[in-house]
């Protein structure tokens, strides 16, 4: 007997498919805006339309200079590590030499949804960053669901952000299970 996925798992699966279009060398994230069980808009992370992409055009400042993790102390650009042009882990994505040129998946989906995002649910493959949380709240999204967590407007005690602070849950653990408890692919 085949079990149908819950609506949350269904839309998270669609967000996974959308993430495959991401134009990022380091991360693939997808988002889906849903209102009344109908898809309003989708978005994935990548450079703005008409600009060089990270994956397709090697335009990512962070993707050009990083330690590949293969044991060699050589930057991806070929210079010895630490490379003078590298960006330190945890540095700002919004300013400085390593500023990200991509628009996040949540922002892309919200731009495409416009006013239809008011009262809608946002499904995304990863927990939104602080900047995207501000956009989400400003757009009037009523609920955010991502692998391992959720946030509901007006009910902060139920949000994963609060659980994370209280319980100290690791990001990778939070992303690994769907709400139904099913093990899911994490991108």
Active site residues: 106
Reported as type and span, the H/E element at residue 163 is helix 160-167
Q: For residue 27, how many other CB atoms are within 10 A of its CB?
A: 18
Q: What are phi and psi of 94, to 5 degrees?
A: -100, -15
- Partners of 43 in beta bridges: 31
Q: Is 4 exposed, middle or buried (0-12, 13-18, 19+ CB in 10 A)?
A: exposed
In 87-170, beta strands by DSSP E: 121-124, 143-146, 149-152
- State the Cα–Cα distance between residues 159 and 55, nearest whole angstrom: 33
């Amino acid at each position: 007997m085949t079990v149908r996925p819950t609506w949350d798992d269904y839309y998270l699966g669609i967000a996974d498919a959308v993430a495959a279009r991401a134009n990022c060398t380091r991360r693939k994230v997808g988002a889906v805006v849903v209102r009344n069980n109908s898809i309003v808009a989708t978005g994935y992370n990548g450079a703005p339309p008409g600009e060089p992409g990270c994956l397709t055009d090697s335009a990512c400042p962070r993707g050009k200079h990083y330690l590949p993790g293969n044991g060699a102390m050589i930057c991806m650009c070929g210079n010895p590590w630490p490379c003078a042009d590298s960006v330190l882990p945890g540095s700002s994505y919004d300013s400085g030499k390593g500023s990200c040129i991509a628009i996040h998946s949540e922002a892309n989906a919200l731009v495409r949804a416009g006013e239809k995002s008011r009262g809608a649910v946002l499904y995304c493959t990863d927990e939104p960053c602080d900047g995207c949380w501000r956009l989400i709240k400003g757009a009037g999204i009523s609920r955010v669901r991502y692998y391992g967590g959720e946030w509901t407007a007006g009910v902060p005690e139920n949000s994963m952000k609060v659980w994370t602070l209280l319980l100290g849950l690791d990001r990778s653990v939070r992303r690994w299970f769907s709400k139904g408890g099913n093990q899911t692919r994490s991108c």
